[in-house]
Amino acid sequence: MTLIAPGRSVGVLGNGQLGRMFGLAARTMGYRFVVYGPDAKGPASQIADQTIIGAYEDLDRVREFAGCVDVLSFEFENVPAATAAAAEALTRVRPGPRVLHTCQHRLREKTHLLSASLPVAAFGAVQSAVEAESVAERVGMPGVLKTAASGYDGKGQAKVLQLEDAAPAFESLGGVECIYERFIEFEREVSVVAARGEDGRFAHYGLFENSHQNHILDLTRSPARVSSATARRAEEITRVVLESLEVVGVLCVEMFLTGDGELLVNELAPRPHNSGHLSIEAHETSQFEQQLRAVAGLPLGSTAPRAAAAMANLLGDLWANGSPRFADALREPAVHLHLYGKTGPKPGRKMGHLTALASTPDEAAEKVLKARESLVLPLSEIE
């Protein structure tokens, strides 16, 4: 196992908030932190020792970046495979290009999960309008048509409620390669964030419970309000995912829990995940420190929970009438504020998050939602 000791350089491909929080963990532990991205104004650059500006397709520039770091990781998975391969020729890339290649393409991802005997919704490949109809008829309706590549927070998706919707849905997505999936009537959306080291050691944060608004994560509770058997099954699924892909780093498995208690894998994110942000306060080792430990060859840290917790995203909508009332939100001592340093808030743009700790996940959710409401309401209007 290769150790990248504190004092050496770690890099991240991407200049957003996940890179920023990874960088904060790296700086805390004494590493030099280098960012690669298309501009120097992103959240990660604000705390970096160095930012190398370049397009992800500029392989010469990518090689320059890779040559000045001892190991690099990702903050998002939509990096061209050629970019990861070019970097790997000069430095350690964690997770490796194979993981990226699989997880950045929904068809490859679902096919891998199926080959590993993991539970997924019925699906089929779609490459034409005619095929969209035949696959929808075979797999069943209602369903969802998704672009095979790219797409996040609900982007690149179209519902297919009846057969005549299939061809127009395919055309609305640009006529690119797609995956059609049977719609799942789920009871809850859940996720497991986990890490795997070079030595094969596995660590996880338990099962999180997620609520979305407009396809964007809104609230996460920890632990999820499910049976212990369901939590154990989710952890087993996650272990198989990381081991089958030989992940070195952090990966999140997003799942649906159906009404009859079945877990189905929805998507994989080969990086820290929005639902895991609460680990900064709620666990002995945050998902970002864990990412650093895994990719640098350090022993994984304890994921023991300190308390039940809830995390609420702060979108740009909260800035519509001026700066939010941060002091009001922090009047509850168990609430913690994280802002990402982004300029120009926009509706739907993730600007930060709040985390609350409590004795139960419901109590934590109540605290964090009340704190978020107080950002835009005078104290006199809060009960």
Interhelix angle for 59-66 vs 81-88, to 10°? Answer: 40
CA distance to 18, 97, 219, per residue, from 40 (Å): 15, 25, 30
Largest distance between two CA atoms of the chain: 60
Picking from 222, 241, 237, 201, the residue whose alpha carbon sits closest to that of residue 280 is: 222
Contact between residue 306 and residue 357 where contact means Cβ atoms under 8 Å apart: yes
| Position 155 confidence tier, pLDDT thresholds 50, 70, 90 | confident
pLDDT of residue 311: 98
- Which helix (H) or strand (E) covers residue 187, if one does? strand 186-196
Residue 378 has pLDDT above 70, yes or no: no
pLDDT of residue 187: 94
CATH assignment of 9-93?
A: 3.40.50.20
| Position 223 confidence tier, pLDDT thresholds 50, 70, 90 | very high
Structure pTM? 0.94
CATH 3.30.1490.20 domain position(s) in the chain: 122-182
Residue 181 has pLDDT above 90, yes or no: yes
pLDDT of residue 121: 95
Which CATH number fits the domain 122-182, given the four candidates 3.30.1490.20, 3.40.50.1860, 3.30.1390.20, 3.40.50.800? Answer: 3.30.1490.20
CA-to-CA distance for 378 and 116, rounded, in angstroms? 53
CATH 3.40.50.20 domain position(s) in the chain: 9-93
Question: What values do phi and psi take at 270, rounded to 5?
Answer: -85, 60
C-beta neighbour count of 249 within 10 angstroms: 26
Tokens 């770091």 -> residue: 69
Residue length, the chain?
A: 383
For residue 226, what are its two tokens? 């499910």
**Collapsing DSSP states into helix, strand and coil, what is residue 228?**
helix
CATH assignment of 186-381?
A: 3.30.470.20
pLDDT of residue 377: 64
CA-to-CA distance for 304 and 285, rounded, in angstroms? 8
For residue 27, what are its two tokens? 């700086």
CATH 3.30.470.20 domain position(s) in the chain: 186-381
